[in-house]
Structure 1
Amino acid sequence: MKALLCDEPGRLSLVERDVPKRAENEVLVRIRHVGICGTDFHIYAGKHPFLEYPRVMGHELSGIVEEAPSGSSLKKGEPVYIVPYLSCGTCHACRKGLTNACQNIQVLGVHRDGGMTEYLSVPEQNVVPTGGISLVDAAMIEFLAIGAHGVKRGSITSQDRVLVTGAGPIGMSAIIFAKARGADVTVIDTREDRLAFAVDGLKANASLFADASAEEQVQKMTSGDGFDVVIDATGNAIPMQRGFNFLAHGARYVLLSVVRQDITFSDPEFHKREATLFASRNAQPDDFAEVVRQMEAGNVPSRALNTHSGRLEDGVQLFQDWSRPEAGVIKAILEV
């Protein structure tokens, strides 16, 4: 079978590998679509802190069941998506049901080889029927689930004014699911094209350009109150720290972003507001299910999000093309 291998930072190659042999509790999936996200581009650029090369990337996956265990409810030929977080099931977090924060987590395409290949064998519990969702849309479920999880962590309701900082794909997913809960959503970024798409395509209520006047603008648009919930999806320590400036009294701050540096904030200001800080890591099964529900309800503009597509065989060149900012990629999907 073919696989797209990241040999080292900046170098990909299309290689031949043996079809994996399915373990007793695993399902062999014929991969059909692979979404490409910021993690994959970070791996390609050599910026991922938890990765060893060479690595087959790919964790946003949909496909067809090729083989399933005896007695499984999954049948050969059934369309499925894959939950890429392989949890141990026995650690403290797993025993509490927090499989997304498993102490021994293995993420496909990061800690072990992922789905930029023709076949992948994964534990049965990580393989889920797509229902009425198309396979190409199913390859977007994982990144959308990250936003859904962050919105859940922030306990967002229709009474909240929400600020999403960062209008990349993860920030867009947060906008979608905050809007699905009826919240009033503002988005802030430095890219005018992304801001326009967030308003026109995702129905964000307002946008802000992230210049030096942002704090003043936030004060004006919230009558001096600030936002009930701020969700950071910038992936950058400086705007993550700046986000504390936008919090209302009693606000919640959800960090979808993770960075290697320390982040700091004013303790007196944080305490004065009695604010709450949440980390949001990966997603849980109910977040994936929420994405499917919202897709079925027509609340996810999947066609608008899927801006680029191509074949796995062309992946070496496509990664070079799509990694450039001028390519305008929101979500690129490889067809296998």
Structure 2
Amino acid sequence: MKAIELTSPGNFLILEKEIKDLLPESVLVKIHTIGLCGTDFHAFRGKQPFFSYPRILGHELGAEVVKIMPETSEKYNIKIGDKVSIEPYLNCGTCQACLSNRQNCCEQIRVLGVHQDGGMCEYLQVPASKVHVSNKLSFDQLALVETLGIGLHAVKRSQLRQGDTVLIVGAGPIGLGIANFAKSYGAKVCLADFSKSRLDYAEKKGLLDFPYLVNAQIEPEDLKSLMNDKLPDVIFDATGNKNSMANTFNLISHGGKIVFVGLFTGEMEFNDPNFHKRETTLMGSRNSLPEDFEEIIKDMENGKIDSQIWITHHVAFDDLPKEFSSFIDSKDSVIKVIVNV
């Protein structure tokens, strides 16, 4: 089968890989669609944490089951021909996090396309427990489930309440996903980004109440002027930018919560008296849980999530190596790129 391997930062290679024998309680899927995300772009630029080269990228996947053992089919209610989204977080099942139903942050987690080879190939073998079936959704929609799940998980982590004021920093796919779910929870959403075109797009799609076009950095008084003299009850930072993340400690309301969804390779410092006097809650949000996948799929099937908001570009599998850098260069107009295999 064909696969696209990132051999080193900035360098892709199309190569042939063998399809391995099917393991017990696993399925072989035919990859139809792959969503590109910030993880892939950071890896291409050599700036992705938890990453090594060479690596086959791809963890946002829409696929079709092509091979499964009868006993696995019966146990997991999966059959050949099923259309599926793949949960790419391979957890150990025995660590403290896994035993507490927090397998999204398993101590030994292996994420497809990050810690081990992913789905930027024609066929992929995955554990049956990581397959989420929906024969109602398109392969494009199935490739969106993972990225939307990250936004949903972050909002659930925050225990967002109706009427809360929310600041989301970063209007990429993750930030827009967070905005979508924050709005559905009844929050008032301020979305901040350097890109006016992204903010205009989000406003057109009904994903924000207050756009904040960032110049140098976000200022508390500017936020108050936008949000009826209030600072946000909850801040989600989806930038993975150290300076942006550090600034959130100056923007949160007293008693508020900060959720770091993006990450960077380095250490974070903050002023403890400022943190303490506000009684700030700081949390990270990593990946998502199986129930988040199921909720996203159900909402897509019921028409509660408009998948057309997210997909702005398509590219053929064979054209990806030469087109990939153009999506980074055109980031203001690119929300989600879908690779068709």
Return the TM-score normalized by structure 1.
0.96
The corresponding residue for 1:135 is: 139
Q: Which amino acid aligns with 1:148?
A: L
Q: CA deviation at 1:301?
A: 3.0
The correspondence of residues 1-336 of structure 1 with structure 2, limited to 5 A, is 1-71=1-71, 72=73, 73-211=77-215, 212=217, 214-325=219-330, 328-336=333-341
For 1:196 and 1:82, locate their aligned partners in 2 and report how far apart those are by CA, in whole Å. 32
Report sequence identity in percent.
Answer: 40
Which consecutive residues of structure 1, in runs of 5 or more, have no partner in the other structure?
none
For 1:74 and 1:42, locate their aligned partners in 2 and report how far apart those are by CA, in whole Å. 34
Indicate how the Cα distance of structure 1 residues 202 and 285 shifts in structure 2: closer, same or farther if over 3 A, else same.
farther
Verify the 8 A CA contact 2:260 2:284 in the aligned structure 1.
yes
For 2:218 and 2:125, locate their aligned partners in 1 and report how far apart those are by CA, in whole Å. 51
Verify the 8 A CA contact 1:161 1:229 in the aligned structure 2.
yes
Deviations 1:81-120 (A, max 9, x none): 1000000001111111110010000000111110011100
**Secondary structure in 1 matching 2:338:** strand
Q: CA deviation at 1:130?
A: 1.9
Q: CA deviation at 1:304?
A: 2.9
**Secondary structure in 1 matching 2:254:** strand
The alignment of Structure 1 onto Structure 2 pairs a total of residues equal to 336
Q: Which amino acid aligns with 2:45?
A: A
Deviations 1:143-186 (A, max 9, x none): 11111110001111212111101111111110011111111111
Verify the 8 A CA contact 2:197 2:332 in the aligned structure 1.
no
For 2:66 and 2:11, locate their aligned partners in 1 and report how far apart those are by CA, in whole Å. 31
Q: CA deviation at 1:281?
A: 0.6
Bigger Cα displacement from structure 2, 207-216 vs 44-53: 207-216
Verify the 8 A CA contact 2:299 2:305 in the aligned structure 1.
yes
Verify the 8 A CA contact 1:172 1:202 in the aligned structure 2.
no
Return the TM-score normalized by structure 2.
0.94
For 2:173 and 2:331, locate their aligned partners in 1 and report how far apart those are by CA, in whole Å. 16
Verify the 8 A CA contact 1:27 1:122 in the aligned structure 2.
yes
Deviations 1:208-241 (A, max 9, x none): 1223563221122334431111110111010101
Bigger Cα displacement from structure 2, 286-295 vs 243-252: 286-295
Indicate how the Cα distance of structure 1 residues 292 and 326 shifts in structure 2: closer, same or farther if over 3 A, else same.
closer
For 1:231 and 1:284, locate their aligned partners in 2 and report how far apart those are by CA, in whole Å. 18
